[in-house]
């Protein structure tokens, strides 16, 4: 019986099959990488009604975190400042700036600015700012160097594995309570200091599902 296909067709078929597999694997890897950023919003700058610069207000002006986020030590939420807080300064500084027109309008008519949450956990996740502050977790640990951000972005992935890294071994992240709001603080020996503070602050390694999913 005459041969229909040339014997080189077998090699071509193998090359095509393996090439397709590698191509699909590459597409999967690319999609996975892009989808992680898309789904977590990590390192994505969130557009706000007014372009507020933490770098300017915190680093340049020296405004303390608690001036705006007044409830972070005592509440589940860090708190968003009312427009009146902004106007304490901006009734004198940049008072006619077009950029700040939404702030002036909000203050005049009593309608809050609709700020967009940057670090936005899913509704099925319970998180309390105050307990983390009390246990020695600094702002920069989760939010990054916000004092260096012209526009606010989410630094951490906020995925469950990221949370569990800290819950499983809090000694790697805990700091003295008087350094909570110090963005630039670094321990000389985090391992030794961390172990001491875990004991001092009575920190437990909580990894039970009900800790965050209630």
The verdict on 206 and 152 lying in the same domain is yes
- Residue at a domain's end among 114, 130, 158: 114
Does residue 75 fall inside a structural domain? Answer: yes
C-alpha distance across the termini of the chain, in Å: 73
The verdict on 71 and 3 lying in the same domain is no
C-alpha–C-alpha distance, residues 66 and 109, integer Å: 26
What string of pLDDT tens digits covers the 214 residues of the chain? Answer: 555 656 666 666 666 776 777 667 766 666 655 555 667 788 889 899 999 999 999 999 999 999 999 999 999 999 999 999 999 999 999 999 999 999 999 999 999 999 999 999 999 999 999 999 999 999 999 999 999 999 999 999 999 999 999 999 999 999 999 999 999 999 999 999 999 999 999 999 999 999 999 8
Does residue 167 fall inside a structural domain? Answer: yes
C-alpha–C-alpha distance, residues 58 and 60, integer Å: 6
Total domains in the fold of the chain: 3
Q: In terms of DSSP H, where are the helices of 91-168?
A: 101-109, 129-134, 139-143, 160-168
Does residue 204 fall inside a structural domain? Answer: yes
Residue 200 DSSP symbol: H
The CA R_g of the chain, rounded to the nearest whole Å, is 25
Token couple for 136? 């020695």
Does residue 46 fall inside a structural domain? Answer: no
C-alpha–C-alpha distance, residues 44 and 37, integer Å: 8
- Determine the structural domain holding residue 208 and report its residue range: 54-80+118-212
Token couple for 185? 């603080």
Does residue 49 fall inside a structural domain? Answer: no
The verdict on 28 and 126 lying in the same domain is no
Does residue 47 fall inside a structural domain? Answer: no
How far CA 22 is from CA of 36, 110, 114, in Å, comes to: 21, 59, 46
Look up the pTM and report it. 0.79
């Amino acid at each position: 019986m005459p041969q229909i296909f040339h014997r080189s067709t077998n090699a071509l078929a193998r090359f095509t099959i393996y090439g397709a597999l590698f191509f699909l694997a590459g597409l999967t890897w690319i999609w996975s990488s892009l989808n992680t950023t898309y789904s977590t919003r990590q390192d994505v700058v969130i557009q706000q009604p007014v372009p507020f610069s933490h770098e300017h207000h915190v680093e340049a002006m020296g405004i303390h975190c608690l001036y705006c986020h007044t409830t972070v030590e005592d509440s589940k939420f860090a708190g968003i400042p009312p427009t009146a807080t902004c106007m304490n300064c901006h009734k004198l500084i940049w008072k006619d700036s077009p950029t700040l027109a939404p702030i002036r309008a909000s203050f005049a008519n009593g309608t809050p600015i609709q700020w967009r949450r940057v670090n936005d956990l899913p509704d099925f996740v319970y998180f309390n700012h105050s307990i983390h502050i009390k246990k020695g977790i600094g702002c920069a640990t989760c939010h990054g160097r916000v004092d260096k951000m012209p526009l606010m972005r989410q630094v951490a992935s906020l995925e469950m594995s990221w949370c569990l890294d800290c819950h499983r071994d809090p000694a790697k992240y805990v700091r003295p309570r008087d350094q909570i709001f110090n963005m630039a603080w670094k321990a000389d020996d985090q391992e030794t200091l961390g172990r001491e503070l875990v004991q001092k602050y009575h920190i437990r390694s909580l990894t039970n599902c009900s800790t965050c999913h209630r």
